[in-house]
A and B are shown apart, each in its own frame.
Chain A
Amino acid sequence: MKKVVIIGGSAAGMMAAISAARQGKSAEVTVLSADAAAYRRPGIPALISGYISQPGQAGVFSNDVLARHNIKLLCPVEVTDINAGEKVVTYEGEGGKGKLAFDSAVIATGGYPIIPKIKGADKKGVCTFTTFEGAQQIVNAVSDADSAVVIGAGFIALEIAEALMHKGLDVYFNVRSRILRKIVEPEVSEHLSRRFEREGLKMLMGETISEIGGGESIQYVVHKGKKIPTKVVIMGTGMRPNVALAEKCGIKLGQSGAIKVDSRMQTSVPNIYAAGDCAESPDLGTGRFVYSPVGSIGAMAGRIAGRNAAGGNEKTEGFLRAQADEILGLQIFSIGHSTTTAKEVGLKVKVQDLEVPEQVEKAYGPKAFEMAKILTDENDRIVGAQLVTSRYGSQYAWQLYRAVLASEDRAEFLEHFISPRAKFAGALVQTITSTISVESFEGGESLTWRNAPKQQSVKNR
């Protein structure tokens, strides 16, 4: 019986636990979580929107799942020490206290939010959202507020801003540099700011707010010398890897300050693995280890760490970062490298605008997508792509994803990136209607298969 201990119960930790349980059928898996339940962070905007009210609802990892995979969960407990020599972890907290022997361990302690040094940032009403309690704090804080200030530039900060707007609050969005700085090009950021502003999000650009003012609770914030009344400030200003525990037991850190791992997700100490927001991960293509705190990468890394911890031997060549979200009616995709992340791994990239293909323009008008960029390396291979669309971008996003995954040649890609709609419509028509092929015999274009009147007689809801 191989004893596997997982420290951390969010996406990376739980994926590691489930993979470990599946890998070695006889593995005895225990998860130690500092949170009140095992849950995933992306569920937090749902909490703010009011869809959910309990950690258990955000946490997909219910007791049933844990029982089915024979995973033991201890929470909330804080792991105070890992003794790598004797292979024992020490934990204590509300969920119990004790020592646990292990054969292998996975560290998935995640990250903690960076709180910028702003005057008054310690006031009641300043919230972060990396834990369920933090999110609950936001819910309580906004319940009687008319406005809120969200500081940050990432997807989750934007999602939270949107959730608050839907609640009827005036939402100010404060970005020091630009929206999604790390994952999209400046031009795309600019475009997004303009679009979000039009949707009613109040942008505070250029610099971080200089002061959070008021008495005991917040009354106003100061941005560029201007006072803005608000009761709530939400910080989404980035993540730092939570490596205190790893450092304590002598595990080496990488240049980024996150836990250094190899392609098996093993740390510098044998039999101790790491995954998620606390660890580095290899970048697909260059193979360089970088810090990229993204849920999907954490989950992929967690799966590998878990399997290896349970006795497997799985290596990764690297993970492709792909992030997508729909915010205020805009679909935003960022796949692979941006100029910012490319610089981190020492990749020289060229950015190119992607034109709306002619056929698509004919069918949809010139606004089939609002903005699309591809990034190519020195050999003209595609290493990154970004796409903003307000309608139906998935067909382009899929092509872009495949191109980046295969690091396709730019010229080749542009040649076949011509008629997604024609391709798609063909597929749609073939599977969805049984009448189409008849019309296509009539010599006309197979795609203009019906001249439907413009007005809408079927009301959708």
Chain B
Amino acid sequence: MDKIIVVNIDKCLACKSCEIACAVAHSRSKELQEAVAESPRPQRMLSVEAAGEYGVPIQCRHCEAAPCIEICPTGAIQRASDEGPVVVDEDLCIGCKLCLLICPFGILKIGSEGRAIIKCDMCIERLEVGEQPECVAACPTGALVCISLDEHTGSKRKKASQHLAKKSGGGTDSKTRKKDK
């Protein structure tokens, strides 16, 4: 995968803007005002789950060795391209539910029409033109970010080293992790 959606649950307000944006993005009209009146109702592919006092937006992780791809008997679940997101070809889905029950994150579900499995496609057509997925674009606090793995590990390295430096008394960023103490 070139890009992943990283969640910083410290920043999540559980406002569910991402859920709405996702449902609208996967509606026919792509407009909120019209989407709410559509039948069947547009569905969201990610959900903000309550976990303790935190809200956790959880969506398809587009796993590298994805169990859903491996278990699908019809080949309906595939990567859009070598480095692309995991997507469902609804036409090939026979509704056997193996992927739904094997997914370690409980992401996949049967669409409201009962036709096929639906899942996050990382707004593939937006990614192709260099835009952010809708959920990321809609997040008001930056709890969701869509970045490359290198960017992600880079920022983690930086935080970790700052933290170590602070531990040995020479921290540059006094705010780091203060509230956890």
Interface residues of A (CB under 8 A from B): 11, 15, 18, 40, 42-43, 45-47, 49, 51-52, 57-58, 60-62, 64-65, 68, 295-297, 299-300, 303, 322-326, 331, 333, 392-395, 397-398, 401, 424, 427-428, 431-435, 437-439, 441, 450, 452-460
Contacts and interface: CB of A to CB of B under 8 A. Distances in A.
A46 B40 CA distance: 14
B53 A456 contact: yes
B94 A15 contact: yes
Contact of A433 (B7, B74, B163, B164): B7
Contacts of B93: 60
Nearest to A65: B91
26 contacts: A11-B74, A42-B95, A43-B95, A52-B113, A57-B114, A60-B93, A296-B73, A299-B96, A300-B74, A322-B71, A322-B98, A324-B100, A326-B97, A394-B106, A397-B101, A428-B105, A432-B56, A432-B58, A432-B61, A438-B177, A452-B51, A453-B53, A454-B52, A455-B53, A460-B48, A460-B49
Contacts of B91: 18, 60-62, 64-65, 68
A438 B75 CA distance: 40
A295 B172 CA distance: 60
B67 interface: yes
B104 interface: yes
Q: Is the interface of A mostly helix, strand, loop or mixed?
A: helix
Instruction: Name the residue among B6, B51, B54, B71 with the largest chain A CB count within 10 angstroms.
Output: B71
Nearest 5 Cβ contacts at the A-B interface: A46-B114, A452-B52, A296-B73, A324-B101, A42-B95
Contacts of B54: 452, 458
A57 B160 contact: no
B126 interface: no
Q: Which of B101, B102, B167 has the most CB of A within 10 A?
A: B101
Nearest to A42: B95
B61 A324 contact: no
B102 A324 contact: yes
A441 B164 contact: yes
Given A452-B53, A455-B53, A331 B101 contact: yes
B9 interface: yes
Contacts of B129: none
A15 B180 contact: no
B148 interface: no
Given A61-B91, A452-B51, 9 more contacts: A43-B114, A60-B91, A393-B101, A397-B101, A397-B102, A431-B4, A432-B58, A438-B177, A453-B52
A40 B152 CA distance: 43
Given A62-B91, A441-B164, A460-B50, A432 B114 contact: no
Interface in B129-179: 152, 155-156, 159-160, 163-164, 167, 176-177
A432 B74 contact: no
Contact of A11 (B75, B94, B105, B116): B94
B82 interface: no
A51 B112 contact: yes
A438 B98 contact: no
Contacts of A40: 94-95
Give the residue among B52, B167, B177 with the most A Cβ atoms within 10 A.
B52
Contacts of A322: 71, 98
Contacts, number: 162
Interface residues of B, number: 56
A18 B102 contact: no
A425 to B, nearest CB: 10
B113 A57 contact: yes
A441 B163 contact: yes
Interface string B85-125: 00000111111111011111110001011111000000000
A437 B73 contact: no
Given A57-B115, A300-B73, A394 B52 contact: no
B83 interface: no
Contacts of A64: 91
A437 B7 contact: no
B128 interface: no
Given A297-B73, A394-B103, A457 B53 contact: yes
A438 B163 CA distance: 7
A61 B50 CA distance: 37
Nearest to A400: B102
A15 B105 CA distance: 28
B52 A437 contact: no
A296 B96 contact: yes
Nearest to B52: A452
A75 B178 CA distance: 69
Contacts of A295: 73, 94-96
Contacts of A323: 96, 98
Contacts of B97: 42, 324-326
B101 A438 contact: no
B16 to A, nearest CB: 9
Nearest to A325: B97
A60 B155 contact: no
Contacts of B84: none
A260 to B, nearest CB: 22
Contacts of B167: 441
A405 B38 CA distance: 43
A40 B163 CA distance: 56
A311 to B, nearest CB: 19
